[in-house]
């Protein structure tokens, strides 16, 4: 009898303890939920806009790329050396050849970074040439020769409408006088379309930036505080979801017996059932969102990662017209300095796949484009220099002191072994965005991939045509990237197709929103 009484007392104590824990857990769960109700609604509704924009309001443009055509050699009446001499220019950064409005020009980048245009026929400068070329490019991409230009300006920094995701800087922004209010962003130095936004997309960008990225915090404070707020609320959402799983999942039967108010009928039943099913996605959204936010502490600097040594006119002995290359396929060329030698970097139009490069450049060495380097002093061809130049640039961008590399065909320098100090695991040309590691968000193509055998497996993606760093990826970047891609953007469902993936994302976001609304109703019913 004594043992039975002690057992009953223990059960009563356990019952009171469980009831007390449950009441506190309910309070914690309800408090956490009510704190995050507005952020969750903002995030869900703004997140829903992405698939809607992609399927129902996706903007279209006639031409996304400039048509590839060979340089017309017959138009090169004056060499670049003659143009420089006639216009009193002794130093510059680079040049290339462009054609627009039925005329051919040397596009010259000055030491100050300006783009000047000189006719290849008479060597005369084109007044406001860069602005004229930007408008010509915009009209070409838009296929609109009639609409007026309301506004034209140069952007040297990213803006709320032209986000860092677009990568290219500096760019021209042209606003056209059309019913759709189209804004075109072009990079004249590469003749590329950076972005295009009709009014519908401008509204979407504002809404998404305001309610998903919380740019309004930036407006009243700074980026650091915005990130802190986002991580704080996302952490609370995680705890709210976990407490909900504990209450309504693992301990529901035990707690339900001790709480006469906790009926499984009506709103509470739906809140519980839907919440449990959707909790894993809530945790995935919250965790990946907070993890992604931690990467935003540092400012975006890739647009400034470019190698642009000053060149002198007397460093170029070979005129463009005399460069030894296949002029029938020569798309364009520019200059690079490598090992104190200036080269013409010739990019040839691809007509077929070329053999794999089999030298010292690691595994999977494939190329779908042909790049040829020609010594600007001796006119000697150096066909495989692109990988070595990319290797040089990776050292340059890493802040290390790059050492000399072999640059002439058939010979090796004494310092060539220095390139082997860090083993290359993989080197290849990337010509598409099919890789999860280097996706469409990186914008630049083609690039050379250089994967190094470092503890972080550091990989550089170099755009040798502009001598720019397109991306640098480490294991920590990969981990965060995969987290965001699979847990936030549902790329694990790519096997089902983009339409199904987007549909699932919409249903999940709506379910999370429904759980929050039901929880809010229950909160006020308790009052």
Higher pLDDT, 221 or 7: 221
Q: How many CA atoms lie within 13 A of 164 on its CB side?
A: 10
- Give the C-alpha separation, 245 to 228, whole Å: 26
Residue from 26, 56, 1, 97 nearest 344 by CA: 97
Has residue 16 got a pLDDT over 80?
no
Has residue 121 got a pLDDT over 90?
yes
Residue from 188, 226, 213 nearest 98 by CA: 188
C-alpha 241 chain-centroid distance: 31
- Give the C-alpha separation, 219 to 204, whole Å: 18
Which tokens is 412 given?
């090796």
Split at pLDDT 50, 70, 90, the class of 249 is low
**Average pLDDT, integer, range 433-461:** 87
Q: What DSSP designation does 405 have?
A: -
Q: Please tell me the pTM assigned to this model.
A: 0.83
Which one of 58-62, 152-156, 363-367 scores highest in mean pLDDT? 152-156
Mean pLDDT (the chain, rounded): 81
CB atoms within 10 A of CB 25: 16
Under a CB-based contact definition with an 8 Å cutoff, are residues 49 and 243 in contact?
no
Has residue 409 got a pLDDT over 80?
no
Which tens digit of pLDDT belongs to each residue from 264-296?
A: 456 666 666 677 777 888 888 889 888 998 888
Residue in the structure block whose two tokens are 């051919």: 104
**Average pLDDT, integer, range 212-216:** 87
Q: Are strands 149-155 and 370-375 parallel, antiparallel or unpaired?
A: unpaired
Under a CB-based contact definition with an 8 Å cutoff, are residues 350 and 368 in contact?
yes
Has residue 521 got a pLDDT over 70?
yes
Kindly give the residue spans of alpha helices, DSSP state H, lying in 72-222. 80-86, 129-142, 199-211, 215-220
- Give the C-alpha separation, 211 to 39, whole Å: 8
- Give the C-alpha separation, 236 to 222, whole Å: 22
C-alpha 160 chain-centroid distance: 16
Which tokens is 62 given?
């006639």
Under a CB-based contact definition with an 8 Å cutoff, are residues 472 and 461 in contact?
yes
Q: Which residues lie across from 103 on neighbouring strands?
A: 100
Split at pLDDT 50, 70, 90, the class of 438 is confident
């Amino acid at each position: 009898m004594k043992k039975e009484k002690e057992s009953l007392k223990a059960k009563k104590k356990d019952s009171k303890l469980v009831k007390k824990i449950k009441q506190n857990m309910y309070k914690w769960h309800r408090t956490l939920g009510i704190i995050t109700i507005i952020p969750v609604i903002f995030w869900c509704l703004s997140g829903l806009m992405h698939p809607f924009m992609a399927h129902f309001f996706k903007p279209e443009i006639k031409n996304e790329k400039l048509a590839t055509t060979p340089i017309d050699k017959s138009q090169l009446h004056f060499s670049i050396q003659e143009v420089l001499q006639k216009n009193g220019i002794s130093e510059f950064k680079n040049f290339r050849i462009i054609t627009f409005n039925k005329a051919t020009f040397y596009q010259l980048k000055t030491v100050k970074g300006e783009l000047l245009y000189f006719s290849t026929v008479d060597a005369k400068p084109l007044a406001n040439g860069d602005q004229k070329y930007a408008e010509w490019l915009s009209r070409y991409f838009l296929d609109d020769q009639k609409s007026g230009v309301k506004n034209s300006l140069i952007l040297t920094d990213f803006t709320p409408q032209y986000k860092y995701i677009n990568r290219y800087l500096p760019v021209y922004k042209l606003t056209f006088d059309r019913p759709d209010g189209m804004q075109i962003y072009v990079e004249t130095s590469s003749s590329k379309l950076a972005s295009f936004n009709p009014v519908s997309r401008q509204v979407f960008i504002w809404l998404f930036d305001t309610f998903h990225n919380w740019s309004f915090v930036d407006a009243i404070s700074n980026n650091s505080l915005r990130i802190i707020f986002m991580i704080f609320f996302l952490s609370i959402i995680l705890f709210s979801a976990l407490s909900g799983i504990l209450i309504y999942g693992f301990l529901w039967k035990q707690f339900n017996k001790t709480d006469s108010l906790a009926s499984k009928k009506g709103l509470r039943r739906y809140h519980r059932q839907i919440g449990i099913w959707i909790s894993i996605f809530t945790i995935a959204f919250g965790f990946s969102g907070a993890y992604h936010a931690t990467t935003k502490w540092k400012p975006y600097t890739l647009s400034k990662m470019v190698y642009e040594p000053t060149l002198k006119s007397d460093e170029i002995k070979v005129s463009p017209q005399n460069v030894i290359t296949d002029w029938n396929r020569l798309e364009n060329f520019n200059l690079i300095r490598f090992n104190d030698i200036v080269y013409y970097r010739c990019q040839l139009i691809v007509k077929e796949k070329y053999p794999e490069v089999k030298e010292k450049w690691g595994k999977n060495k494939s190329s779908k484009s042909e790049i040829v380097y020609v010594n600007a002093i001796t006119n000697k061809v150096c066909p495989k220099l692109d990988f070595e130049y990319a290797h040089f640039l990776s050292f340059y961008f890493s802040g290390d002191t790059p050492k000399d590399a072999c640059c002439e065909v058939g010979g090796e320098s004494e310092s060539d072994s220095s390139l082997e100090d860090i083993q290359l695991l993989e080197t290849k040309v990337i010509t598409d965005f099919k890789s999860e590691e280097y996706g469409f968000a990186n914008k630049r193509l083609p690039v050379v991939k250089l994967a190094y055998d470092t503890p972080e497996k550091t990989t550089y993606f170099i755009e040798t045509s502009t001598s720019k760093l397109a991306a640098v990826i480490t294991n920590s970047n990969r981990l965060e990237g995969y987290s965001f891609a699979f847990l936030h953007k549902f790329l694990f469902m790519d096997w089902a197709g983009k339409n199904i993936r987007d549909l699932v994302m919409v249903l999940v976001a709506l379910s999370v929103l429904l759980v929050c609304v039901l929880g809010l109703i229950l909160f006020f019913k308790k009052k």
